[in-house]
Structure 1
Amino acid sequence: MVLKKAKILVIDDDVDVLTAIRLLLKPLVNEIVVEKNPNNINFQIESKKFDLIILDMNFNGLVNTGNEGIFWLNKIKQFNPNIAVVLMTAYADIDLAVRGLKEGASDFLIKPWKNEKIINTLTSILKSEKSKESVKSTFSPKQFSIIGESDAMQDVFLKLNKVAPTDANVLILGENGTGKDLIARALHENSNRKHKPFVKVDVGSLTSTLFESELFGYKKGAFTGANEDRKGRFETANGGTLFLDEIGNISLGQQVRLLTVLQNRQVTPLGSNKPIDVDIRLICATNENPSVLADEKKFRKDLIYRINTVDITVPPLRDRNTDITLLTKHFIQVYEDKYNKGPFEMGADFLKKLKKHDFPGNVRELQYVLERAIIMADGNQLNSEDLVFSSIERSTQKTTPQTLNLDDLEKNAILTVLEKHKGNISKSAKELGITRAALYRRLEKYEL
């Protein structure tokens, strides 16, 4: 049964071998793809999610490594360390195949193979991988979709599953655009309070007066314009979850008022002397560096202890590069449906360009880049020229170069000028002080 659902990629430069194994496995599996050129491995596994790869160990010296199979095995594992790889080798290369097991291969097959042996081997590996996946899936939210298979996100999922069922206060840390609000909602949706309200407040944008009226509510006549009683967010969230976003931006005075409410579990609306009991689970988020929160001149330590029973750090997209393919496919599907376009295919250079970008705006930037690509695309294939990265995100970064490497500095300068002139080669070359031909050479050099 597990073999019937599998998608398998076979890589071998011997056409006869590819034909034989394809004829053997085609009736038994969901899909089998054969590939003669190992240089296309990245494209194949970026374009489709395979459950298992069968990889030959010799490719007529295409790479000068002493053994091609080990080289390509390492390339596959760099791209996706979790994918199962079965090596194919001749009797004379058994020692190399054993070395391949140490490098991360799941098993090896000896040519010429016996059909029953290859079927049993693949079935056994796929069952083992499915068992691992079922354990791994316990680390992802049960009722709220968060996309990610990277090690960094698995750590987040592990914490979510431990913390969500409790009433512990949680502080979510992370850069802008990483998805802190998704984590907050996942905590609520997987908690015992999931059938009660989830109330979000961007407290960093509230003035001192609005802070109290928004959070604690007010009575009719409490101030000019208070024409009726109004519940505050604490009272609205009673029994459920209150999510205070940008908590690191509130003033010391606001911190004192918030601390009092958290200590007493009571709010007193403006214009009233009667406290109201509240029962909430508190989740806070900030993009501030933890060192800022540790500075008592900016943030009260007693408040930190109140809001930070457990902290969850959401990794930036640059630290979860292996998730870019998954996220890209997800957002493409979202915008195909939204704009009634597609279905789209991704060119080999499309994902390559995405993965080279550092995404200072994180997942939010990736989402907007892909939305624009879908809107502006003429055909049904997305290529690198369809990707335009925002200069807004780059301008919010530190102006001090993060590298002094001359090639990197030149590449960044070219990107900046191209974005400024919206890809116009003549204007860009003029500002850079080089000819159009020289600019084209540099574009080719840096694969831009």
Structure 2
Amino acid sequence: MKRGAFSRAIVVDDDPDILLSARLLLRDLFERVQTFQSPEEALRAMDEGHVDVVLLDANFGRGATNAAEGFHWLAEILKRDPEAVVVMITAHGGVQIAVEAMKRGATDFVSKPWANERLLATVRTAAALRNSRKAAITERKRAAAVTAPAAGGEAPLLGHSPSIARVYSLIERAAPTEANVLILGENGTGKELVARELHRRSRRSDQVLVSVDLGAVAESLFESELFGHVKGAFTDARGERIGRLQAADGGTLFLDEVGNLPLHLQPKLLTALEQRQVIPVGANRPVPIDVRVIAATNLPPERLSDESLFRQDLLFRLNTVEIELPPLRERREDILLLVDHYVAFYSKKYGKPPRRLPSEVAAALEAYHWPGNVRALRHAAERAVILAGDDAFTVEDFSLSRAAPARMATPTPAAVTQASDLNLDRAEKTMVEQALKRHAYNISLAAAELGLTRASLYRRMDKHGL
């Protein structure tokens, strides 16, 4: 093993000769070896950062043989760091003490006087165990992060309009099955909420739901992100990584923004879904997976049917059941219900008092076009809660006039000319350019008004050379 293969070891023993011997022996294995005669000092040193392994003497007092002090400090170390790897140093023949130490949480033991090769092998194995535990903890945190719902006060699916009632009905019928579901709808309509509701009502509800935004995954990282990689597969692959498809094994995989997946990458996803297995980057053996797929896209059906944009065999694999979410302008009877929900949520979050919603303000909210759908309404409600006076909301609090779509303003000759141009690409470029100029090229604000993620806006800027 190369010099300094591990970062730090701590050795605790009341015999300075033992400490010197251990430091000299371990210096080629660790970048840093710290030795202490006092267990209290060793505990304080642990607070400095990651420790690969602690070597702890079983007896400190002169003539002590029952390891009571060693067991005490072992407990203190594990209390400080439950994942700590501790190797007990016992007197020759102290097998019973060693067994008891391992029952209490020690990883291994070495006997005095030790054989150098035996000590090195024991410590090397213990340090490797510590690093594998650390990697497992990191992976669990990563999994928790990718399965957590989006922040921002997301509401459950709310509404009593006929169009949203149809969505409820489809969810109720599709959720208990194993059918793949494709959710269609404009940005901000609540596609992720539908995906989570489908998972919650499914037979896999006690398993994980893993979400991946395909629109935000760089092409160069697509295979590593979805299929995983093995150590050394490429320059930065310093360890093994489980891909999103394997992480979702037994549960549900939510592929958001699937319509933004480049055409040349679509066959790789299709192959994995058809064969129900993945091959991590750098590996030569497939790993079987059992996932239910829920996908979502803001592409309209006619664009999904375009072979130059989306493979039809992949589309057939994804849309066993198709759920189309209506834009907010087509379910106006739900607007005030959503406003009440978000106003209550943000009032509680920011500690603001209840305020009246005058009838003229309610009418303006219901009449507004809501180009960003429920997401835009949520942001407007948050702004209003923050900006409103103590008594009642005003239209200005919701910033409707500033964010109003072009159709609500008096059309200019230039706007009329643009409106007569029905080319989708040119219209998209114009809208993106206008949003960027309106917000002084603040990407977050422009993306919010357009109902896009930051990554999606960046892609459209690059597409149109903006």
Q: Give the equivalent residue in structure 2 for 1:363.
A: 374
Aligned to 1:233: 244
Can you give the 5+ residue segments of structure 2 that lack an aligned partner in the other structure? Answer: 1-154, 409-413, 421-433, 440-466
Structure 1 residue 289: Cα displacement? 1.1
Structure 1 residues 172 and 301, CA, compared in 2 at 3 Å: closer, same or farther?
A: same
Partner of 2:216: 205
Instruction: Tell me what 1:154 maps to.
Output: 165
Aligned residue number for residue 383 of structure 1: 394
Distance 1:390 1:365, change over 3 A: farther
Aligned: 1:374 with 2:377 = no
Contact kept in structure 1, 2:388 and 2:394, CA below 8 Å: no
User: What SS does the corresponding residue of 1:243 show, helix, strand or coil?
Assistant: strand
Letter in 2 for 1:288: L
Letter in 2 for 1:240: G
- List aligned pairs for 1:138-153, cutoff 5 A: 145-153=156-164
DSSP-derived class of the 1:381 partner: coil
Q: Could you tell me how far apart the structure 1 residues matched to 2:328 and 2:415 are?
A: 21
Q: Secondary structure at the match of 1:371?
A: helix
Distance 2:313 2:415 in 1: 36
Q: Who is 1:318 aligned against? A: 329
Change (3 A) 1:274 1:390: farther
Separation in 2, partners of 1:393, 1:368: 14
User: Residues 361-392 of structure 1: CA distance to partner in whole angstroms, max 9, x if unpaired?
Assistant: 10111111111011011213112232212756
SS in 2 for 1:346: coil
SS in 1 for 2:215: helix
Amino acid at match of 1:202: D
Paired residue type of 1:191: S
Q: Secondary structure at 1:359's aligned position in 2? A: coil
Identity in percent: 46
Deviation of residue 350 (structure 1)?
1.3
* 1:101-154 residue CA offsets vs partner (Å, 9 max, x unmatched): xxxxxxxxxxxxxxxxxxxxxxxxxxxxxxxxxxxxxxxxxxx93101000000
The answer to whether the 8 A contact 1:168-1:310 is kept is yes
Q: 2:405 & 2:384 partners in 1: Cα distance?
A: 19
Give 1:402 shift: 6.7
The two structures have a TM-score, normalised by structure 1, of: 0.56
Counterpart CA distance in 2 for 1:307 and 1:210 is 22
CA-based RMSD: 2.5
Secondary structure, in 3 states, of the residue corresponding to 1:204?
coil
Cα separation, 1, equivalents of 2:415 and 2:216: 26
Query: SS state of the match for residue 366, structure 1?
Result: helix
In the alignment, what sits opposite 2:27? none
SS of the residue 2:212 aligns to = strand
Letter in 2 for 1:265: R
Return the letter of the residue paired with 1:165.
P
Paired AA for residue 336 in structure 1: S
Question: TM-score scaled by structure 2?
Answer: 0.54
Tell me how far apart the structure 2 counterparts of residues 300 and 316 of structure 1 sit (CA, whole Å): 26
Amino acid at match of 1:370: A
Matching residue's letter, 1:281: R
Counterpart position of 1:445: none
Question: Relative to structure 1, is the Cα distance of residues 305 and 330 closer, same or farther in structure 2, using a 3 angstrom cutoff?
Answer: same
After the TM superposition, which parts of structure 1 deviate over 4 Å for at least 4 consecutive aligned residues? 390-393, 395-403
Query: Residues of 1 paired with 2:265 and 2:191: CA distance?
Result: 22
Work out whether 1:346 is the aligned partner of 2:360.
Answer: no
Go from structure 1 to structure 2 and tell me whether the alpha carbon gap of 1:392 and 1:399 turns closer, same or farther (over 3 Å shift): farther
Q: 1:272 aligns with which of 260, 269, 283?
A: 283
Aligned residue-pair number: 264
Query: Which of these residues, 276, 280, 286, is aligned with residue 297 of structure 2?
Result: 286
Q: Which amino acid aligns with 2:258?
A: I
Give the conservation status (yes or no) of the 8 Å contact 2:327–2:373. yes
The question of whether the paired residues in 2 share the 8 Å contact of 1:361 and 1:393 is answered with: no
Instruction: Provide the C-alpha distance between the structure 2 equivalents of 1:390 and 1:190, rounded to a whole number of angstroms.
Output: 40
Superposed CA deviations along residues 241-291 of structure 1, whole A, max 9, x for unmatched, are 100111111112210100100110000000001100000010110001111
Alignment of 1:182-193 (within 5 A): 182-193=193-204
In structure 1, C-alpha distance between the alignment counterparts of 2:309 and 2:297, rounded to whole Å: 14
The reply to whether residue 175 of structure 1 matches residue 186 of structure 2 is: yes
Structure 1 unaligned blocks of 5 or more: 1-143, 404-415, 422-448
